[in-house]
């Protein structure tokens, strides 16, 4: 082979055209083909676009763990194109503007991705000649991983371009030409201002200038020998320019370092670094627990991004570069090794992390393929021998790249799924959907469906702080009544199924759902696959390979035998009794704690730690035992151990304590957290609810004063919630403090004049003050507003009986008749009305009332006896005898019935 050919410019143009088509094809993916609605499915892309709108407005509003260079570029480009397109940029609540802004970013990615092909060609020519350059350009053009990333406006395709441009500039260094150093300094700054790791393209630059490296068999002329002074001037210029550009891209490093390095938001640099290192666990990092640092790039990510043949020759090219050590080889090797050493060891390993070094592997793979072809020609002297390794790589890579691109010509699986849901799931159905990075909640709007949303992050943040059985209970509450479950496999299911050892309950829930063992059957699945029926690597791939642009949407429908509730309740009991979980020991300890058996309680909690040494809740509970034994120092020590092992004690620790049954102990801590600045407002409601539950428990124990104290604490926490006021007022009525009860109810009725339970309490106050008419009318109003609440009916029934006993017959009649008008099947009302008619000797009306009572509840002995008496009084002795006999069948020792029956039977 020769290193030059006249046709190479035309071939190169054809390759670049192919790469352009593959990158620009389907850039509007995520658009509903029927309505034109644009969906922002890529969370990282949306974060970058949303951040870019704050450029020139308020940079402190930007929430991004990456540099501002991509935001500046998008902001400038969008504002330049906006007048031309006649569409405003960054009005993201408007569908047209949102689509225009996102597409502008994607066009930038696609354009830079296309220019990258030419840079790869240049590097390929430098390392192995024209044929290597052309092959490298072709492989880059059809590289599936880079095609995919070029369809997003995220930092990785941009970093890939800046880094490769920097490497191409290094080919001509050291040099006298200052323009190269100025350009390289700016490119270094842009690379670092996109992602900090981009600064490492400066490492090969330093090697070329300070290690006096003399490349072997380079196609370049010998490098220029610079004096030490010239070298330092040029290096200093690059560092200065790079630093200036970097600071421009990250101004808060200088202006407000506390803000920049704050770890309060995972979208900020410091916190995102903790996530990347695995110090903070998120749902999207669960799958990474199954991966091996560094090795995963070679066993999976490079294979996903390149395809197996190209990865194979790429790795061969790495070895060839180590042997040859030409200047281009050293430049590529240094960048590849530096990047992989820094990124490969991170806990998180999404496919996009491999993108910046894909060009290096492509170039080295092309070089290795051409080198192998030359060796085959030397061995066999066959003119076509050099084509064998080239075709081995080029054909499958090209097929894979083109097949992958077809995804962007298909309508998104989420949009198709949403359309199916609209057409097949009836309005007002109960649907369980998901939030997160790849949500389904938007598919089931709350104005059409009864939607519940999962919070799978709970399984992570509550880990070791709550009982495992409580996690089952948590999911049971979410899935209760759900007729349908709609999820994206990559969002929650796949990550949790990967970590049964770490989060067993969350993992088992999704495994059972996947295997249709949770009371739901899979009825529909939507998935876009690459063309030519190539689903390579999709099935077992790292989730982000498929999640952003061709995820799997699964729709499940409830089974009724057994129901999900039955399955989960049975499982909850199994978990509580399973010796592999600490639950049974914790619950035994709590029981002993309530009995003030401190030694037995501590022993049970310690047994829980023997089962699971990391179970922090057990340490908290041991600390409570020490507090009861007046050993605060021991409490602090064991709590410090819990913090050292499991991180800061959070709200879930005390929620966990409350859920074990130690409500009065846990609420003290939970209330303290709830009252902190910027605390979750839901915690205040939870603390109030817990005080209410404690109050109800004391009410059942007839300790009204303690109950009142807890209800008062509840209403203090949530002064706008009516429930605590009502509970406190009911206790005050029992205590005879009607004035204070009235004040509380007045406050509620002022806010909600037609609140049924508030009217109920007001009716009781009227009744206590002997204002019977007002009491009756108010309670009747509560009943009309809340007709299904039996509390109102039962109170009226009770009042009717009281009024009868007090001789207020007309009031009693009015109540019983009103009850039956409201609920004709109210058996007790029929009976009481019948008895009332008997007492007033109105047997004709007593008869149908008692017949109705007996018809509704034949086993009611008193109703049967009363009806028999009415029949006897009316002279219908046969029917009377029949009902007296029925009374004795139900209650043989009923002497009064036996006496009346014997009397009737003795008559001729």
Report yes or no on 61 lying in a domain. yes
Q: Do the bridges between strand 430-434 and strand 484-488 make them parallel or antiparallel, or are there none, so unpaired?
A: parallel
pLDDT value at residue 535: 54
Residue 270 above 80 pLDDT?
no
Q: Which two tokens stand for residue 674?
A: 């709830």
pLDDT value at residue 62: 83
pLDDT value at residue 907: 78
Q: Are 21 and 144 in contact (CB under 8 A)?
A: no
pLDDT value at residue 870: 93
State whether 515 and 390 are in the same domain.
no
pLDDT value at residue 474: 94
State whether 423 and 473 are in the same domain.
yes
Give the helix ranges, DSSP H, for 351-435.
358-380, 387-405, 413-424
- Rounded CA-CA distance 519/562 in Å is 6
- Rounded CA-CA distance 21/461 in Å is 45
Q: What is the pTM of this model?
A: 0.83
pLDDT tens, position by position, 72-105: 999 999 999 999 999 999 999 999 999 999 999 9
Residue 219 above 50 pLDDT?
no
pLDDT value at residue 213: 54
pLDDT value at residue 673: 82
- What contacts 31, CB < 8 A, 6 or more positions away? 37, 38, 39, 99
pLDDT value at residue 1: 45
Q: What is the CATH number of the domain that holds 872?
A: 1.25.40.10
Q: Do the bridges between strand 450-454 and strand 553-558 make them parallel or antiparallel, or are there none, so unpaired?
A: unpaired
Poorest-pLDDT segment among 366-370, 475-479, 678-682: 678-682
Report yes or no on 397 lying in a domain. yes
CA 40 to each of CA 29, 95, 438, 766, 863: distance values in angstroms, whole numbers, following the listed order = 10, 10, 10, 58, 68
- Torsion region of 841: left, alpha or beta (phi above 0 gives left; psi -120 to 50 gives alpha): left
C-alpha 678: how far from chain center: 21
Question: Which structural domain, as residue segments, surrounds residue 862?
Answer: 827-908
pLDDT value at residue 3: 47
- Rounded CA-CA distance 118/782 in Å is 78
State whether 204 and 67 are in the same domain.
yes
Residue 223 above 70 pLDDT?
no
pLDDT tens, position by position, 569-588: 999 999 999 999 999 999 99
C-alpha 452: how far from chain center: 13
- Rounded CA-CA distance 293/286 in Å is 14
Report yes or no on 475 lying in a domain. yes
pLDDT tens, position by position, 879-896: 999 999 999 999 999 999
Q: Are 811 and 803 in contact (CB under 8 A)?
A: yes
pLDDT tens, position by position, 624-682: 999 999 998 998 999 888 888 887 888 888 889 999 999 988 888 888 888 878 777 88
Give the pLDDT band (50/70/90) at residue 905.
Answer: confident
Q: Are 40 and 425 in contact (CB under 8 A)?
A: no
Q: Answer with the one of 578, 611, 640 that is the final residue of a domain.
A: 578
User: Could you write out the DSSP letters of every residue in 443-507?
Assistant: GS-TTTSEEEEE-TTHHHHTTTTS-HHHHHHHHHHHHTT-SEEEEEIIIIIHHHHT-TTTSHHHH
- What contacts 574, CB < 8 A, 6 or more positions away? none
Task: Collect contacts of 813-817 with beta carbons under 8 A, ≥24 apart.
Answer: 814/776, 815/776
Residue 262 above 80 pLDDT?
no
pLDDT tens, position by position, 687-734: 888 999 899 888 888 999 999 999 999 999 888 889 899 999 999 999
pLDDT value at residue 217: 41
Q: Do the bridges between strand 553-558 and strand 484-488 make them parallel or antiparallel, or are there none, so unpaired?
A: antiparallel
DSSP secondary structure letter of residue 38: B
State whether 338 and 452 are in the same domain.
no
Q: Are 673 and 599 in contact (CB under 8 A)?
A: no
User: Could you write out the DSSP letters of every residue in 539-554?
Assistant: TTS-THHHHTTSPPEE
Give the pLDDT band (50/70/90) at residue 538.
Answer: low
Q: Answer with the one of 519, 553, 578 that is the final residue of a domain.
A: 578
Helix (H) or strand (E) holding 879: helix 877-890
Residue 14 above 60 pLDDT?
yes
pLDDT value at residue 4: 52
- The chain-wide mean pLDDT, for the chain, equals 91
DSSP secondary structure letter of residue 556: E
Report yes or no on 816 lying in a domain. no
State whether 325 and 423 are in the same domain.
no
Selection from 806, 730, 720, 808 nearest residue 762 by Cα: 730
Helix (H) or strand (E) holding 522: strand 520-526
State whether 378 and 443 are in the same domain.
no
Report yes or no on 30 lying in a domain. yes
Q: Answer with the one of 388, 406, 424 that is the final residue of a domain.
A: 406
- What contacts 381, CB < 8 A, 6 or more positions away? none
State whether 505 and 420 are in the same domain.
yes
Q: What is the mean pLDDT of residues 124-129?
A: 94
State whether 363 and 481 are in the same domain.
no
State whether 336 and 203 are in the same domain.
yes
Cβ atoms < 10 Å from Cβ of 76: 13
Q: Are 470 and 656 in contact (CB under 8 A)?
A: yes
- Omega cis (within 30) before 174: yes
Selection from 119, 132, 318 nearest residue 219 by Cα: 132
- Rounded CA-CA distance 427/430 in Å is 9
Place of tokens 């410090």: 640
Q: What is the mean pLDDT of residues 132-153?
A: 97
Residue 566 above 90 pLDDT?
yes
pLDDT tens, position by position, 801-842: 888 888 888 888 998 898 899 889 999 999 999 999 998 999
Per-state percent for the chain, helix, strand, coil, to nearest 5: 70, 5, 30
Number of domains the chain is built from: 3
State whether 439 and 389 are in the same domain.
no
Number of H helices, E strands in the chain: 45, 5
Give the pLDDT band (50/70/90) at residue 537.
Answer: low
Q: Are 783 and 796 in contact (CB under 8 A)?
A: yes
State whether 361 and 439 are in the same domain.
no
Give the pLDDT band (50/70/90) at residue 529.
Answer: confident
Q: SS3 of 382, please? A: coil
Selection from 436, 351, 530, 420 nearest residue 41 by Cα: 436
Residue 875 has phi, psi (to 5 degrees) of 85, 5
Residue 557 has phi, psi (to 5 degrees) of -125, 145
Selection from 772, 844, 863, 857 nearest residue 815 by Cα: 772
Report yes or no on 609 lying in a domain. no
Q: SS3 of 848, please? A: helix
Selection from 373, 297, 311 nearest residue 132 by Cα: 373
Q: What is the mean pLDDT of residues 139-147?
A: 97
Q: Are 586 and 605 in contact (CB under 8 A)?
A: yes
Residues in the chain: 908
Report yes or no on 481 lying in a domain. yes
DSSP secondary structure letter of residue 431: E
- Rounded CA-CA distance 694/697 in Å is 5
pLDDT value at residue 524: 96
pLDDT tens, position by position, 287-341: 999 999 999 999 999 999 999 999 999 999 999 999 998 989 999 999 999 999 9
Give the pLDDT band (50/70/90) at residue 788.
Answer: confident
Q: SS3 of 524, please? A: strand
State whether 272 and 368 are in the same domain.
yes
CA 41 to each of CA 159, 652, 724: distance values in angstroms, whole numbers, following the listed order = 22, 31, 43
Selection from 2, 41, 31 nearest residue 551 by Cα: 41
Report yes or no on 697 lying in a domain. no
Give the pLDDT band (50/70/90) at residue 539.
Answer: low
User: Could you write out the DSSP letters of every residue in 574-592?
Assistant: HHHH-TTSSHHHHHHHHHH
């Amino acid at each position: 082979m020769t290193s030059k050919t006249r046709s190479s410019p035309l071939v190169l143009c054809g390759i670049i055209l192919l790469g352009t088509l593959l990158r620009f094809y389907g850039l509007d993916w995520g658009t509903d083909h029927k309505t034109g609605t644009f969906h922002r499915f890529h969370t990282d892309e949306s974060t970058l676009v949303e951040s870019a709108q704050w450029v020139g407005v308020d940079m402190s509003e930007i929430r991004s763990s990456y540099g501002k260079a991509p935001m500046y570029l998008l902001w400038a480009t969008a504002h330049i194109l906006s007048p031309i397109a006649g569409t405003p940029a960054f009005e993201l609540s408007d569908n047209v503007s949102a689509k225009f802004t996102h597409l502008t970013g994607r066009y930038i990615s696609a354009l830079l991705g296309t220019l990258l092909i030419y840079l790869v060609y240049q590097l390929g020519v430098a390392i192995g000649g024209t044929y290597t350059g052309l092959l490298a350009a072709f492989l880059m053009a059809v590289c599936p991983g880079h095609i995919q990333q070029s369809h997003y406006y995220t930092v990785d395709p941009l970093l890939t371009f800046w880094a490769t441009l920097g490497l191409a500039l290094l080919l001509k260094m050291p040099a006298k030409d200052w323009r190269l150093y100025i350009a390289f300094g700016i490119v270094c700054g842009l690379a670092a201002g996109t992602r900090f790791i981009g600064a490492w393209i400066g490492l090969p630059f330093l090697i070329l200038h300070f290690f006096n490296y003399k490349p072997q068999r380079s196609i370049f002329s010998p490098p220029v020998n610079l004096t030490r002074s010239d070298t330092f001037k040029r290096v200093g210029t690059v560092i200065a320019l790079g630093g200036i550009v970097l600071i421009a891209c990250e101004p808060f490093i200088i202006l407000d370092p506390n803000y920049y390095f704050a770890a309060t938001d995972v979208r900020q640099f410091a916190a995102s670094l903790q996530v990347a290192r695995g110090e903070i666990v998120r749902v999207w990092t669960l799958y990474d627990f199954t991966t091996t640092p560094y090795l995963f790039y070679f066993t999976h990510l490079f294979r996903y991004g390149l395809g197996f043949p190209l990865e194979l020759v790429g790795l061969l090219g790495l070895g060839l570069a180590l042997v040859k050590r030409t200047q281009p080889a050293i430049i590529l090797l240094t960048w590849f090794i530096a990047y992989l050493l820094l990124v490969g060891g991170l806990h998180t390993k999404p496919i996009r992390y491999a993108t910046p070094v894909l060009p290096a592997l492509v170039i080295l793979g092309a070089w290795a393929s051409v080198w192998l072809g030359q060796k085959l020609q030397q061995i066999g002297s066959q003119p076509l021998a050099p084509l064998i390794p080239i075709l081995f790589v080029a054909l499958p890579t090209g097929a894979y790249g083109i097949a992958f691109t077809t995804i962007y010509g298909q309508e998104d699986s989420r949009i198709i799924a949403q359309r199916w849901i609209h057409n097949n799931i009836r309005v007002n159905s109960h649907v369980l959907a998901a939030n997160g990075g790849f949500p389904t909640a938007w598919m089931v709007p709350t104005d059409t469906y009864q939607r519940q949303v999962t919070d799978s992050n709970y399984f992570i943040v509550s880990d070791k702080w709550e009982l495992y059985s409580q996690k089952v209970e948590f999911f049971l509450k979410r899935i209760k009544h759900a007729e349908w479950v709609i999820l994206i496999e990559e969002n929650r299911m796949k990550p949790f199924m990967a970590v049964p050892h770490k989060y067993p309950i969350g993992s088992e829930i999704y495994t059972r759902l996947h295997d249709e063992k949770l009371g739901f059957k899979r009825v529909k699945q939507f998935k876009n696959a690459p063309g030519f029926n190539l689903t390579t690597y999709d099935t077992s791939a790292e989730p982000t390979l498929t999640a952003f642009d061709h995820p799997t949407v699964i729709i499940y429908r409830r089974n009724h035998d057994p129901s999900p509730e039955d399955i989960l309740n049975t499982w909850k009991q199994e978990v509580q009794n399973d010796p592999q979980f600490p639950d049974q020991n914790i619950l035994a300890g709590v029981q002993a704690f309530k009995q003030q058996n401190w030694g037995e309680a501590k022993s049970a909690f310690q047994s829980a730690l023997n089962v699971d040494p990391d179970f922090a809740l057990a340490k908290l509970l041991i600390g409570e035992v020490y507090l009861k034994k007046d050993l605060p120092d021991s409490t602090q020590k064991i709590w410090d151990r819990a913090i050292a092992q499991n991180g800061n004690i959070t709200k879930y620790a005390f929620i966990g304590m409350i859920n074990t049954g130690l409500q009065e102990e846990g609420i003290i801590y939970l209330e303290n957290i709830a009252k902190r600045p910027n605390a979750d407002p839901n915690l205040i409601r939870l603390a109030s609810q817990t005080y209410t539950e404690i109050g109800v428990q004391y009410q059942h124990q007839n300790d009204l004063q303690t109950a009142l104290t807890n209800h008062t604490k509840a209403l203090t926490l949530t002064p706008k919630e009516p429930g605590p006021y009502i509970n406190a007022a009911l206790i005050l009525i029992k205590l005879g403090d009607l004035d204070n009860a009235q004040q509380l109810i007045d406050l509620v009725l002022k806010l909600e004049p037609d609140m049924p339970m508030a009217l109920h309490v007001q009716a009781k106050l009227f009744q206590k003050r002997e204002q019977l008419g007002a009491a009756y009318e108010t309670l009747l109003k509560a009943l009309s507003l809340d007709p299904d609440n039996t509390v109102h009916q039962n109170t009226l029934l009770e009042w009717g009986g009281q009024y009868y006993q007090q001789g207020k017959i007309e009031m009693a009649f009015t109540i019983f008749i009103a009850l039956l008008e409201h609920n004709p099947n109210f058996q007790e009302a029929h009976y009481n009305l019948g008895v009332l008619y008997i007492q007033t000797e109105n047997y004709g009306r007593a008869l149908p009332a008692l017949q109705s009572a007996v018809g509704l509840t034949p086993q009611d002995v008193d109703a049967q006896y009363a009806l028999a008496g009415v029949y006897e009084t009316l002279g219908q002795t046969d029917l009377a005898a029949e009902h007296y006999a029925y009374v004795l069948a139900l209650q043989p020792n009923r002497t009064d019935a036996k006496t009346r029956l014997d009397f009737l039977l003795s008559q001729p």
